[in-house]
Amino acid sequence: MSRLLKGKLFFLFAFLKVAFAQESADSFDWSTVPLNYSNPDDGTAALAVIKLNATVEASQYGGPIFFNPGGPGESAIDFALTSAGLMQAALGNQFDIIGFDPRGVRFSTPNISIFRTEEERAAWVAQETVDMNSTKEALPESWARYQAFGQLAQNRNDNNFLSFVSTDNVARDMLSMVKALGEEKLQYYGISYGTALGAVFSTMFPDRVGRVVLDGCLDMDGYFSNNMKFMTEDTDKAMQAFFDTCHSAGPEVCAFYDSSPSQIEANLEAIYDSLRKQPLPYVSGDSFGIVTYDLLRGLILLGLHTQDFFPIMAVMLAELSVGNVTTISQMLYLTYHAPLTHSMLIIVFIAKDRSINACI
Ligand SMILES: *[C@@H]1O[C@H](CO)[C@@H](O)[C@H](O)[C@H]1NC(C)=O
Ligand SMILES: *[C@@H]1O[C@H](CO)[C@@H](O)[C@H](O)[C@H]1NC(C)=O
Ligand SMILES: *[C@@H]1O[C@H](CO)[C@@H](O)[C@H](O)[C@H]1NC(C)=O
Ligand SMILES: *[C@@H]1O[C@H](CO)[C@@H](O)[C@H](O)[C@H]1NC(C)=O
Ligand SMILES: *[C@@H]1O[C@H](CO)[C@@H](O)[C@H](O)[C@H]1NC(C)=O
């Protein structure tokens, strides 16, 4: 295992341990918010909530900080288990850190699941293409697939639940929780989709806004008009930053270094070309499969979320350029077997006390 990856893993697991130790089953339920705030007869939703207590005396208590890790389907419960301790370390131990799964997400109800079984989901996901330009068929097929997906979602919209799972209702739930804790105003930290939620809350309940951090802001107009092209607008710039910083960091620091940024780019293109012609098989413990062009594109897209991933990405690419799959197979194992893909990225950020500047 590479030293760098070992470092990241140690980092991750050390914090998992700390987080679990601190949280010791301190959680509570919020189990009867109305599905429809205008009509109590429409039934109720139950919110899964988890709290990391402040550790100061009552006189110094700073109140609760709610957070949303993005998605919109990311689970704040999962996120809290890995990173609530880190958030508190960054924000101050006078605050309770409160994560809740928005209605429809993970442990909260109604349970919205388009797929009936994990097998169904896995079969669907296995057909996903990252690079829509990889073949002539990739884009039109993807368009058609998501038309099927949308139709399936409508067909399986049990009890019309989808119409109640909306950001304005999540904002109302958040206000209910603020009130339940006896607070006048919301303190909040939102990442990515969490910035849309924070903005909607602030628009709906301006007199209830305390201190609110929106980190890694979505383009709100784009988000609410289903025009998500902003998600990839700066991807080429992030890729270029990898080439530039790898070059300026030098061969001691960047394992994928070469004589110029454009040479580094050419070396990456060479790896892509080679993988298209001949994907690389790997078997490493229980992890096995093939490293394909599309898979590498996907991993790099993920890595571009944070410069903190650049060093490990460089090691992975340097190895791949000589056909060595050691690091990439470990990354794939982590990415697809740990339910931590995004949380891992976020942990690295928060630990370094840096702001998140990409959409999660
Ligand atoms: C919520 O209730 C109101 C009042 O009965 C109704 O007009 C509205 O359509 C309901 N919302 C949904 C999403 O069903
Ligand atoms: C956290 O605080 C609550 C009161 O808000 C208390 O009931 C609970 O025992 C505390 N949990 C821990 C682990 O200290
Ligand atoms: C939600 O439904 C899915 C599919 O039916 C199921 O696999 C999952 O365990 C359910 N989740 C919860 C929290 O009940
Ligand atoms: C998509 O593929 C075509 C044909 O290979 C190529 O000419 C074009 O530059 C590609 N577009 C992008 C955005 O990569
Ligand atoms: C692949 O790279 C790793 C880490 O750099 C190294 O330990 C290993 O010996 C290499 N494998 C081969 C077959 O060269």
Amino acid found at 84: A
Residue 2: its pLDDT value, please?
38
Q: Which ligand is nearest to the CA of 25?
A: 2
Task: Return the best residue to mutate from 3, 256, 319, 330 for the ligand 5 pocket (most ligand atoms within 8 A of CB).
Answer: 319
169 C-alpha vs ligand 3 centroid, how far in Å? 21
Please tell me the distance from the alpha carbon of residue 11 to that of residue 269, in angstroms, as a whole number.
Answer: 32
Q: Which ligand is nearest to the CA of 77?
A: 3
Residue owning tokens 């389907």: 73
Please tell me the distance from the alpha carbon of residue 200 to that of residue 175, in angstroms, as a whole number.
Answer: 12
Residue 321's nearest CA partner among 252, 263, 236, 360 is 263
Residue 335: its pLDDT value, please?
61
Q: Which ligand is nearest to the CA of 4?
A: 5
175 token code pair: 């206000």
1 C-alpha vs ligand 5 centroid, how far in Å? 9
Please tell me the distance from the alpha carbon of residue 242 to that of residue 244, in angstroms, as a whole number.
Answer: 6
Residue 289: its pLDDT value, please?
87
Residue 22: its pLDDT value, please?
36
The per-residue b/e assignment along 20-59, b for 16 or more CB within 10 angstroms, e otherwise, is: eeebeeeeeebeebbbeeeeeeeeebbbbbbbbbbeeeee
* Class of residue 216 by CB neighbours under 10 A (exposed 0-12, middle 13-18, buried 19+): buried
Please tell me the distance from the alpha carbon of residue 217 to that of residue 202, in angstroms, as a whole number.
Answer: 14
Q: Is 161 in the pocket of ligand 1 (CB under 6 A)?
A: no
343 C-alpha vs ligand 5 centroid, how far in Å? 28
236 C-alpha vs ligand 4 centroid, how far in Å? 14
283 C-alpha vs ligand 5 centroid, how far in Å? 14
Q: Is 259 in the pocket of ligand 1 (CB under 6 A)?
A: no
- 10-residue mean pLDDT profile of the chain (360 residues): values are 35 33 40 90 91 95 94 88 87 95 92 87 83 88 91 89 94 93 94 94 97 91 89 90 98 97 98 97 84 90 83 94 91 59 44 36
Q: Which residues line ligand 2 (CB under 6 A)?
A: 24, 26, 53
Please tell me the distance from the alpha carbon of residue 243 to that of residue 300, in angstroms, as a whole number.
Answer: 12
With respect to CATH, is domain 14-112+162-229 assigned 3.40.50.2000?
no
292 C-alpha vs ligand 4 centroid, how far in Å? 18
Residue 337: its pLDDT value, please?
52
Q: Is 120 in the pocket of ligand 3 (CB under 6 A)?
A: no
Protein residue with its CA nearest to atom 11 in ligand 1 = 36
Would you kindly state where each structural domain of the chain is located, as residue ranges?
Answer: 14-112+162-229, 118-155, 232-351
- Ligand 2 nearest-atom number relative to CA 23: 13
Q: If residue 303 lies in a helix (H) or strand (E), which one and from where to where?
A: helix 293-303
CA 75 to chain centre: 9
Residue 224: its pLDDT value, please?
92
- Ligand 1 nearest-atom number relative to CA 164: 13
Residue 173's nearest CA partner among 104, 220, 219 is 104
Task: Return the best residue to mutate from 53, 96, 97, 181 for the ligand 2 pocket (most ligand atoms within 8 A of CB).
Answer: 53
